[in-house]
Amino acid sequence: MATIQLKQVEKRFGEAYAVKPLDLTISDGEFIVLLGPSGCGKTTTLRMISGLETVTAGQILLDDKNVTWLHPSARDIAFVFQFYALYPHMSVRDNIAFPLKAQGETKELIDERLKLVVDLLRIGHLLNKRPGGLSGGDKQRVALARALVRRPAAFLMDEPLGALDADLRESMRAEIRELQLRLKATTVYVTHDQIEAMAMGDRIVVMSAAVVQQADTPTQVYYNPANLFVAKFIGSPGMNLVQGNYAEGIVRLPGDNQYPLPPGWQNSITRGENVILGFRPESAHVSPEGMLQGQVYATHMHGSYTMLHLNMEGDNVVHVRADRSQRYPIGANIRFDVDAQMARFFNPQNETALRQHQEQSRMTNDGLAVSNSQSSVSHSQSYE
Ligand code: ATP
């Protein structure tokens, strides 16, 4: 498989940027997910890598070879789309064999490769059928088989599961990821579904308005979002974000709430400065002695837990995950704590995450910042 490098790659349509200058290195065998809302530039980025779209500026390297101006067919990259693009008049066998026939490969080689991918995807029983008679999942398996049979240097996938229903999407996610790991296939995968991105990616490239907001592991984008956009976009619901003001070791929040600044942040925030406190719903815990409080505005039952919507004053509604066996009447005042290690802070002016300056810390796998004066890695460095 291959490495893919994008160096200051950009795309403009007329004056409008579809992708602003972008630098990204995708390692050999890595599964990268491009994630973002509609129109943020994901598909254009993928199409530039494939050669289906020209770049306005910058370079694309495949295994250190400059392929920026090569025709798509000369790039040794396979593309899998949402809408399968199978030939309806051909059998499954002929659909899968098509790229090899087009390259003029021998019958022996075609039969050998066909058998391997058909076994891999367990679709031997479909070979004589036409695509029209297949389920959505089987059509996507055939499309994957047709991409695999070429043994390309890399795979590009544009919302390949977008047309499938929820259950099938979930099992196909696992299938594609398992296949990718087995083949060690360098893969760039586009989706606007953050659950899919979190489940599948080695790294997630979060894009918004033609700009990469953060390129990092799922753990990092979830626990250490680089800015307010990523904090809100990742997670369902996103991170709670409450504007406050810092003084004397305390962040004053709406509704007379006060949150003591956790250790490690003192040198990151200036006295009198406005600051945004961020925390995930599961980092808050309902407790009668909790230092924060809000009024129950809504409760949503999620099976194993109840999601409380608490109004801290004005428009500041926060989500707190709570015990499903308790009752939380609408309008009741609920006290809660926020785990000091999981609190994050953002600059309201430039919307970026603040970094801890006082003491070194290291990240555990689940994103907890653990104080460690010996470590040279601070968790805030993780998104540098
Ligand atoms: P979606 O999830 O809806 O496919 P996306 O993140 O993949 O969105 P792109 O399709 O890459 O976004 O589009 C990025 C921007 O470029 C959008 O504003 C889109 O309207 C614009 N754009 C894309 N292709 C063209 C084109 N051929 N001509 C003009 N503008 C285009």
Tens digit of pLDDT for each residue in 116-143?
888 877 888 999 999 988 888 888 888 8
The CB of 191 under 6 Å from ligand 1? The reply is: no
**Ligand 1 atom nearest residue 40's Cα:** 6
The CB of 40 under 6 Å from ligand 1? The reply is: yes
Considering only 22-31, 171-180, 273-282, 361-370, which range has the smallest mean pLDDT? 361-370
Is 82 domain-assigned? yes
The CB of 152 under 6 Å from ligand 1? The reply is: no
In a shared domain, residues 96 and 174: yes
Name the most confidently modeled range: 15-29, 99-113, 257-271: 15-29
CA 34 to centroid of ligand 1, rounded, Å: 14
- What domain count does the chain have? 2
Count of CB atoms situated within 10 Å of the CB of 314: 9
Model pLDDT, residue 137: 82
Model pLDDT, residue 237: 93
Q: Whose CA is nearest to atom 15 of ligand 1?
A: 18
Is 177 domain-assigned? yes
The CB of 36 under 6 Å from ligand 1? The reply is: yes
What residue has token string 């075609």? 110
In a shared domain, residues 114 and 257: no
**pLDDT above 50 (res 22):** yes
Domain that holds residue 151: 4-223
Q: Whose CA is nearest to atom 25 of ligand 1?
A: 13
Model pLDDT, residue 266: 85
Q: How far apart are the first and last CA of the chain?
A: 28
* CA distance linking residue 2 with residue 291, whole number of Å: 52
As a residue count, the chain comes to 384
- H or E segment and range at residue 242: strand 240-247
In a shared domain, residues 128 and 64: yes
In a shared domain, residues 140 and 76: yes
In a shared domain, residues 51 and 81: yes
In a shared domain, residues 23 and 78: yes
CATH (domain of 18): 3.40.50.300
CA 220 to centroid of ligand 1, rounded, Å: 27
State what percent of residues in the chain have pLDDT above 70.
Answer: 92
Is 287 domain-assigned? yes
The CB of 349 under 6 Å from ligand 1? The reply is: no
Domain boundary among 171, 191, 223: 223
CATH (domain of 292): 2.40.50.140
Mean pLDDT computed over every residue of the chain: 88
144-157 tens-digit pLDDT = 888 888 888 899 99
- The model's pTM: 0.86
324-368 tens-digit pLDDT = 989 999 999 999 999 999 999 999 999 999 998 754 444 444 444
In a shared domain, residues 90 and 209: yes
The CB of 44 under 6 Å from ligand 1? The reply is: yes
In a shared domain, residues 26 and 129: yes
Model pLDDT, residue 26: 97
